[in-house]
Chain A
């Protein structure tokens, strides 16, 4: 039964370590790339920052307008031109 000599064993271990390191690095790169692609493509993830649903500007204006502003009255000075009733 033959045994490997120490001079051949050490280079073989170095090559094995190098291969393991290379595989780990490649795995990390692949994992990172897969994460980036998933984030860009996967449904349920927005590509842009979310914005609140907005009503049309004219609608917003009508809702926000102050509807309770005062009119101006003074004592009557002539005979009334019009008579109002009750709604």
Chain B
């Protein structure tokens, strides 16, 4: 495989392995285009236009409609844990500008608002938000972009963006916090609080908002890694499992998804993750 192609997008480094030069350019264009549509920090983004129009029906692009449909489906399938309506919660916690521009702030974080995904009305071309509600689709936009970017590669390869990875063909992957695993099929995603953290009134804040409280989650885990059929599946499941705290491993097993949980130095593997590695060892 030729040397990986790297570029910055969506606040992280995107790495593309495999693919022709044209395919790599197409991947970069895809990420740039998604950022222009879904960024909370670009004044002209479609997301900001939709949020500013809360209270009245607003026309949306087909890309926005499809992504919002996926986000609402993710909310439904996780009992509202992965909620696309937590834009205000993020702002209340202080994440109101590009992460690189965040500085310690002496002001107390404001009270967030619980998720309200059931109050969003939409179809493919029209969305209606209750007045005061703000969407934040970045919970799934990056992993969806990773999956869509991988589909642009004609042959074996991978696309990685921050904690999200999808591959075509088997790939050995180093995991955050140590250790590695072979991804045979699908995608891997790691959600956690070890990287995107900032201080507000001396208290650590992070971007994983618990929709039940509207505040940064107080989950016992520092990070959760999940293997999904797609990067999107892995990402949704990792966020939900993180937010569930102690019940996360059991929930992932109930979904049939392998997951690895870290709490500081402590590592917990759910049944699905352990069995995947043991079965493979037994077969070789």
Contact = CB atoms under 8 A, between A and B. Distances in A.
Interface of A: 55-56, 58-59, 62-87
State the main secondary structure of chain A at its contact with B. loop
A72 B174 CA distance: 16
A84 B227 contact: no
**Interface residue SS majority, chain B:** mixed
Interface stretch (B21-29, B164-172, B212-220): B164-172
A82 B229 CA distance: 19
A70 B256 contact: yes
A45 to B, nearest CB: 28
A63 B69 contact: yes
B137 interface: no
Nearest to A83: B174
Contacts of B189: 87
Interface in B37-66: 65-66
Nearest to A84: B165
Interface in B238-284: 255-258, 272-273, 276-277, 280-281
Given A70-B258, A70-B272, A71-B185, A79 B172 contact: yes
22 contacts: A58-B66, A58-B124, A59-B66, A59-B124, A62-B66, A67-B73, A67-B232, A67-B236, A69-B230, A69-B256, A70-B258, A72-B276, A74-B181, A74-B182, A74-B276, A74-B277, A75-B277, A75-B280, A83-B173, A84-B163, A86-B191, A87-B191
A11 to B, nearest CB: 75
Nearest to A66: B77
B223 interface: yes
B2 interface: no
A86 B192 contact: yes
Interface in B197-231: 223, 227-230
Contacts of A56: 123-124
B187 interface: yes
Contacts of B1: 81
**Size range of the chain B interface in the assembly:** 35 or more
A5 B256 CA distance: 104
A69 B73 contact: no
Contacts of A76: 172-173, 180-182
Contacts of A68: 77-78, 228, 233, 236-237, 255, 257
Given A56-B123, A86-B194, A81 B17 contact: yes
B65 to A, nearest CB: 7
B95 interface: no
Nearest to B11: A87
Interface string B148-178: 0000000000101011110000111111100
B173 A82 contact: yes
Contact of B172 (A58, A59, A71, A80): A80
B12 interface: yes
B123 A80 contact: no
Contacts of A58: 66, 124
A86 B163 contact: yes
B235 A71 contact: no
B70 A70 contact: no
A81 B172 CA distance: 6
A85 B12 contact: yes
B74 interface: yes
